[in-house]
Structure 1
Amino acid sequence: MELSVIITTYNAAEWLEKVMWGYQAQVFRNFELVIADDGSNDVTKQLIARMSKDVFYPVKHVWHEDEGFRKCTILNKAISEASADYLIISDGDCIPRNDFLQVHATRRKKGYFLSGGYSKLPMQLSKQITKEDILTQRCFDVNWLKRNGLPDSFKNSKFTASGWKANLLNLITPTNASWNGHNSSAWKQDILNVNGFDERMRYGALDREMGERLMNNGIKGLQIRYSAICIHLDHSRGYKNDKDLASNQAIRDATKKDKRTWTDFGIVKS
């Protein structure tokens, strides 16, 4: 297995099904899908069992009990279960374009992680997209998206940029090449070397913090936000709160200040 793709989910079976069809459309086919499930109910379990029979790629369902927002914990379990030496981490609400894995596979490089982005869709358009729209790839046609409610934005150039233009935009974008949990990849060993995600963290830049430890450990970020394309399906964030955001920021501040390369609250427990 050349790639392990880890996607997170929690009680969002409608979105997860669309994302799984997105991986069915991939031109790069030597991969497994590892679903990091933060305690979803049986609806998600039944969907994964059904979809596993309809897609060409192997699927692993890594699940734990619902004890609140524990995305970092289930991500660490999924990383441990992943078979490949190279990991792509995304979300169960991000549909990948058919060249998504090809980009990550061809641009992976020792000493680096890859940093991608996403394009947010409004709720009505998120719900409107069908299996056929995904398999035919028309949901990545910017004109089709705009006809169906996508607002005009320079960010829409992600859908049309290719070749030298995409490379130029990757080079000049003011956005940092940070670890973004919806679209980033790295060698598994590099992630193990920093002990994965810090399980003290709840919602709010938990992905960035691990990326900062990777960079402190000499692993640099490479920008691919105009090359590895995925669309983000809309959803609410009822788990977002000021207390967790402040706690996460304090952990990030300590990581930066002390140039930490390891967390004692990751895959390997102290």
Structure 2
Amino acid sequence: MKISVIVSVYNRFEYVLNILRCLKTQTVKPYEVIFADDGSKESLKEFLKEELKDCTFKVKHVYQEDIGFRKCKSCNNAVLESEGDYLIFLDQDAIFPKTLLEEFLNLASKDKFSILRVLWSSDSERKEIGALIDKKADYSEFLKVINSDEKKKLKKYLFRDRYNNFRYSIKLRDRGAGLMGIGFGLYKESYQKVNGYDEDYKGWGGEDADLGLRLYKLGLKSVTFSTKQPSIHMCHPLDPTKTGDKNISMFKEKKKRIRVQSYICEYGLNNRKDEDGYLYEKI
């Protein structure tokens, strides 16, 4: 099975470098990695030039103009250029052990989508992990940096997810565990059936929950998991210009329609919201 890894990118290229290094060490290699770029100011190809030389998989770059946070459009751009059967979406600020893709593949099922839960680092922990990455330390050393309370939180989140998925299975909820963009995987055909991310969402907030709800409405179940060595979110400040003030209220309205009408969003893979297009290249 061909795996297409789609990485959401906006500036902070040092994080992109980290994630590419993680992908190069995987026990199961991706068929391709596609960087879905939401208008970064510098050249990603130039920044990654040295790191790309020994890649054993295809690397693609899809780029759109920066006119605000448009993750939904950017991810849809990447899917349109993808060749894989199975899609794994990752945010650029994730780092993970060498078994991540193998664990996603072991969970892959036509009637499910998989949601990755991670440890969330503080800013000081991020800096310490960054120094360890530069020293090419073993991944186990990164985990020693994370506060033990965060590891307890991860266990609680996974327990909550199992509970919510159980309630969904007996029809006490309209959805199971919440989808988060930091990491999730599904068959491309499922993503296509719901018309991908809803491009009505601009600015951060609501877009992942909306996609998850439509996948549940399609009839899929979810499985949430943590990698055996937990994956880590690298802390970064929020960009106040990228929040979507109207997104939460829009999600509430869309949720009502999804429940009674359709899991297919109006603006997505097959009906683009914005007409500015995108640039594509193999790098």
Query: What TM-score do you get using the length of structure 1 for normalisation?
Result: 0.84
Q: Residues 166-195 of structure 1, C-alpha deviation per residue, up to 9 Å, x if partnerless?
A: xx9698566853322111100000000000
- CA distance in 1 between counterparts of 2:244 and 2:42 reads 31
Q: Report what 1:206 is aligned to.
A: 207
Deviation at 1:31, TM superposition (A): 2.9
Q: Report what 1:220 is aligned to.
A: 221
Give the SS at the match of 1:109. coil
Q: Report what 1:165 is aligned to.
A: none
- CA distance in 2 between counterparts of 1:105 and 1:133 reads 30
- CA distance in 1 between counterparts of 2:87 and 2:229 reads 14
Gaps of 5+ in 2: 166-175, 273-283
Q: Report how many residues are paired.
A: 256
Q: Report what 2:149 is aligned to.
A: 153
Deviation at 1:114, TM superposition (A): 0.7
Give the SS at the match of 2:67. coil
Deviates more, 1:129-138 or 1:232-241: 129-138
Give the SS at the match of 1:211. helix
Q: Report what 1:233 is aligned to.
A: 234
- CA distance in 2 between counterparts of 1:229 and 1:58 reads 26
Contact 1:213 1:255 in 2 (8 A): no
> Root-mean-square deviation (CA), in Å?
2.6
Deviation at 1:2, TM superposition (A): 1.7
Question: Is 1:246 matched up with 2:248?
Answer: yes
Query: What TM-score do you get using the length of structure 2 for normalisation?
Result: 0.80
In structure 2, what residue type is equivalent to 1:183?
G
In structure 2, what residue type is equivalent to 1:213?
R
Deviation at 1:134, TM superposition (A): 5.8
In structure 1, what residue type is equivalent to 2:224?
Q
Q: Report what 2:260 is aligned to.
A: 258
Q: Residues 120-147 of structure 1, C-alpha deviation per residue, up to 9 Å, x if partnerless?
A: 1111221332435666223443xx21xx
Gaps of 5+ in 1: 162-167
Deviation at 1:227, TM superposition (A): 4.7
Q: How does 1:4-19 map to 2 (within 5 A)?
A: 4-19=4-19
- CA distance in 2 between counterparts of 1:174 and 1:225 reads 16
